[in-house]
Amino acid sequence: MKKSALQQARAAYKPQLPIVLTGGVKVVEGQPTQSADNQEDIQKLFPNTYGLPELRFEKAPAGESAEPINVGVILSGGQAPGGHNVISGLFDGIKNINRKSRLYGFLMGPGGLVDHKYKELTADIIDEYRNTGGFDIIGSGRTKLETKEQFDKGLEILRELNIKALVIIGGDDSNTNAAILAEYYKAIDAGVQVIGVPKTIDGDLKNNVIETSFGFDTATKVYSEVIGNIQRDCNSAKKYWHF
């Protein structure tokens, strides 16, 4: 595909990263966590994963090597600007850990995990989607992960691909999927970490550690710009009515 000058400039943009994420990363465990409310009820629902420690990231010493890691990623629910860059960041991060690390994308949402439909995301693929909107790099879906059969089918392909971490990018339903899946895999000691990434344009994923989600951040800025443009137009073109 031939890219326009604008597309080339967009692809060349490098989002600013915290210093600790620009090279090797060391994870430091902090204090146990708890839910903002209904602690006892939630602990009963998630006895194996409730209260896990807060994780803090620190820059690893130069020259410190790490074992390669295979990671799976799922886009779930409605599309939101920023999803492609979460995947690009995942790719860059695991390659910084070890160049032999591999990233697999499950196709068309959580259903791709259950049905074993996936593709390896290579540098050529990732570079086509950097800084672009949409969820089309691997597609999205709304399959609910709620049965033991689904969990076990997903675990089959995770073990076949030697995937040690599964990242689910989605909204409130999708992160509920992630929480339930993490609880089951922890209960059976599957050896797979499940990470939920908050994505929504609705602004309904927010707590004391999530100031705002991607998607909602873009939506509010776009709407604010449109409203500001209309306001300026009203001031400028006084002979027209605006509805």
Q: Which residues are catalytic?
A: 202
Residue 95 and residue 116: Cα distance in Å, rounded?
A: 24
Q: Is 144 helix (H, G, I), strand (E, B) or coil?
A: coil
C-beta separation of 166 from 158 below 8 A:
yes
Residue 91 and residue 97: Cα distance in Å, rounded?
A: 10
**Distance, C-alpha 172 to centroid of its chain:** 13
List all residues 6 or more positions away from 9 whose beta carbon is below 8 Å from its beta carbon: none
C-beta separation of 187 from 93 below 8 A:
no
